[in-house]
């Protein structure tokens, strides 16, 4: 089943990745209507690729699937035929690997000059870190995100609750770059090679802090400014029931509203008074501890005080705001039954989705895709028998 969104309909994407930033990017492109073809290894070669849980990355919603032995010459020929008809290729091999196995940018460009070829990697295709292995936490560390985040009791940086680097610094960066390259291709008739560095994406996310340091020499860190916990008006507080709520009353008017609601008007003139922050935090903590979280949220959130609950995943799954806006879609798996998943939630995506029937991990669209690439039935059967495709 293809996406019901239409913005990218007609765009064909070959995705060589199974997890990480590249898989995030192809998920977004598929949700906007692109035909995404997941290119995985044959089962004999499957140990080299991570197979995510059935529910991950939208459970393959709206995507097609082909399995090819890219180490075989005939397998590379199959990939080349598919690439000749594609608009975009996304890969996340270690730098140099795609070229070494014969599916790199120059290989594809030889059969498709207008291809937009996107390589996602931790640190980029060159530079002294390019060969480093890594994951989300490493990129957040080297890009300054962890240093500016809160600390655990031990003094160690807190582990983020989301894969910010993979999702925003990598996946969304790749989508932005791909769409910009498509606009350029359509205007000038030229393809592009995109070198997406997740670590550099983190630097971009941290640009407010980085630019401050580069311009002033002031080094940001946890508690260094209003956005990293310097002031009581931008913090989290525990309510009577042990649950937490957030306060982000940056503007003086919002801070005044909060103080009045808490009957702490005496602190209104001292919002940015560094010498009084411990006192203000103590006063806020004492006030919030008198009532349950949801009582405070019901009163303060509609009252222009910039208050919101710290929701658990279970709570947000039934949050009336997200439910009302159609954030979740329905899916069904033959073995695991019915379940909900995050739908095409980014702006412009079609949120009214039919129930998605999740396919078995072994199901592919190989015959259909190879036929579209010009292979006959006999050729496809021979490639299957030889273990080149599945």
Question: Catalytic residue numbers?
Answer: 135, 166
**Nearest 5°: CA angle at 172, between 166 and 178?**
125
Q: Helix 207-216 crosses helix 198-205 at what angle (to 10 degrees)?
A: 70
For residues 204 and 173, is the Cβ–Cβ distance under 8 A?
yes
| 195 vs 24: CA distance, rounded Å | 16
Structure token pair of residue 171: 């996946």
Segments of 111-154 assigned E as strands:
116-121
DSSP-assigned letter for residue 220: P
In the chain, the largest separation of any two C-alpha atoms, in whole Å, equals: 83
Query: Which of 62, 82, 68, 83 minimizes the C-alpha distance to 9?
Result: 62
d(CA 111, CA 97): 19
Residues 6+ apart with CB under 8 A from 83: 14, 89, 103, 108, 111, 112, 115
Nearest to 357 by CA among 388, 319, 330, 385: 330
Give the angle 39-40-42 at the CA atoms, nearest 5°: 130
Q: With residue 330 as reference, give the H or E element that holds it.
A: strand 328-333
* Distance in angstroms (rounded) separating the CA atoms of residues 159 and 171: 20
In degrees and rounded to multiples of 5, residue 34 shows phi and psi of -70, 150
Strand 234-238 vs strand 88-91: parallel, antiparallel, or unpaired? Answer: unpaired
């Amino acid at each position: 089943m293809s996406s019901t969104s239409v913005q990218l309909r007609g765009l064909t994407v070959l995705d060589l990745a199974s997890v990480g930033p590249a898989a995030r990017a192809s998920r977004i492109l598929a949700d906007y209507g692109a035909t995404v073809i997941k290119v995985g290894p044959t089962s004999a070669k499957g140990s080299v690729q991570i197979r995510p849980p059935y529910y991950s990355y939208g459970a393959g919603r709206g995507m097609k699937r082909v399995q090819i032995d890219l180490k075989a010459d005939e397998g590379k020929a199959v990939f080349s035929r598919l690439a000749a008809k594609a608009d975009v290729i996304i890969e996340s091999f270690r730098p140099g690997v795609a070229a070494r196995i014969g599916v790199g940018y120059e290989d594809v460009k030889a059969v498709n000059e207008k291809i937009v070829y996107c390589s996602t990697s931790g640190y980029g295709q060159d530079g002294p870190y390019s060969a480093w292995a890594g994951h989300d936490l490493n990129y957040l560390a080297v890009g300054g995100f962890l240093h500016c985040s809160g600390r655990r009791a031990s003094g160690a940086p807190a582990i983020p609750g989301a894969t910010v680097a993979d999702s925003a610094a990598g996946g969304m960066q790749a989508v932005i770059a791909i769409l910009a390259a498509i606009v350029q291709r359509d205007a000038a008739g030229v393809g592009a090679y995109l070198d997406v560095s997740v670590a550099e994406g983190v630097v971009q996310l941290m640009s407010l802090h980085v630019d401050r340091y580069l311009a002033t020499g002031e080094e940001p860190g946890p508690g260094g400014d209003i956005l990293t916990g310097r002031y009581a008006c931008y913090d989290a507080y525990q309510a009577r029931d042990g649950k937490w709520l957030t306060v982000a009353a940056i503007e003086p008017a919002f801070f005044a509203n909060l103080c009045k609601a808490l009957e702490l008007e005496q602190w209104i003139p001292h919002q940015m008074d560094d010498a009084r922050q411990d006192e203000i935090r103590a006063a806020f903590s004492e006030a919030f501890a008198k009532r349950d979280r949801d009582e405070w949220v019901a009163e303060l959130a509609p009252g222009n005080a910039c208050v919101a609950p710290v929701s658990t995943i279970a709570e947000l799954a039934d949050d009336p705001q997200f439910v009302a806006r159609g954030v979740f879609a329905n899916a069904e798996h033959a073995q695991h039954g019915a379940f909900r998943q995050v739908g095409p939630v980014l702006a412009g995506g079609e949120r009214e989705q039919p129930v998605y029937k999740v396919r078995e991990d072994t199901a592919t669209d190989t015959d259909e895709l190879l036929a579209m690439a010009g292979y006959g039935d006999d050729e496809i059967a021979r490639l299957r028998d030889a273990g080149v495709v599945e």
